[in-house]
Amino acid sequence: MDSAPVASRPLDTRLVDAYLRRLGAEEPAWPTVDVLRELHLRHLRAVPFENLSVHLGEEIELEPARLVEKIVDAGRGGFCYELNGAFGALLAAVGFDVTLLAARVYGEQGRLGIPYDHLALRVRTVDAGDWLADVGFGAHSHYPLRWDDRAEQEDPGGAFRIVEAGPDAAGVKGGTGRAARRSEAADLDVVRNGSREYRLEARPRALRDFRAGAWWHRTAPESHFTKSLVCSRVTLDGGRVTLSGRRLKVTALDGTSEERDLATDEEVLAVYRERFGIELGEVPTVKPRGVA
């Protein structure tokens, strides 16, 4: 596996230690699959998937140290580029071999999104080969998925498969076929409960490659991140808690859920603080289109 750089400069000791404390984890002795699984689940529980910066007018800097500082110093989360960018930097800092991968997310009617639509991680362990790690896709697998396994992989988040991708809507096969398999360049589809979630390019990327995708998602009227507010994380019992604007939804592991609308700004700020550990001075709101 040819690795792309995950950081323009290594994380310093303070950031690594603070990041591990945020996750409630200790620095591992060896980069094993058990360590990867533990860190992956702890990240999903501790660091929320959220797009608040888009609506608070905050800059999003795709530089590893800045991403980690947002998590450990500001007590925040982020969306895929931020979460997987930071997590990849942490994994590299504690000894894992990490490759950044670009993906396009499946949308309505099976259409694929923009290039660099999503960032995921290919992680090599010392004892169990390569794994797909993704702590930045919202509702997804709780544990990393075995990279080379094409059978169904059971996970608390659902039944997953990683399969070779077919042609896209334009008829492009995305590098599949015998030559692509030899170079490990074939595109792969990640499938959850029978539905295709995103298409991975197996070619290594650098974090700076995702700047255009991040800019589009935080500025384009067509982006679902500019049209809605979300803050979500996995709960200790394996369920999920999500705040979408003023609607709080708590989902149990068995899929049952309870929802309620929060009436006041004080309630909203309290949920951000108590459910997600996020201290805000104001309630973020989705601005009407055309309002800067």
Catalytic center residues: 80, 118, 134
DSSP single-letter state for residue 184: T
| DSSP codes of every residue in 73-115 | TS---B-HHHHHHHHHHHHHHTT-EEEEEEEEEB-GGG-B--T
Rounded-to-integer distance, Cα 99 and Cα 122, Å: 5
Please check whether residue 133 is in contact with residue 90, taking contact to mean a CB–CB distance below 8 angstroms.
no
**Beta-bridge partners for 122:** 99, 132
Look at strands 145-146 and 153-155 and give their pairing.
Answer: unpaired
Please check whether residue 7 is in contact with residue 92, taking contact to mean a CB–CB distance below 8 angstroms.
yes
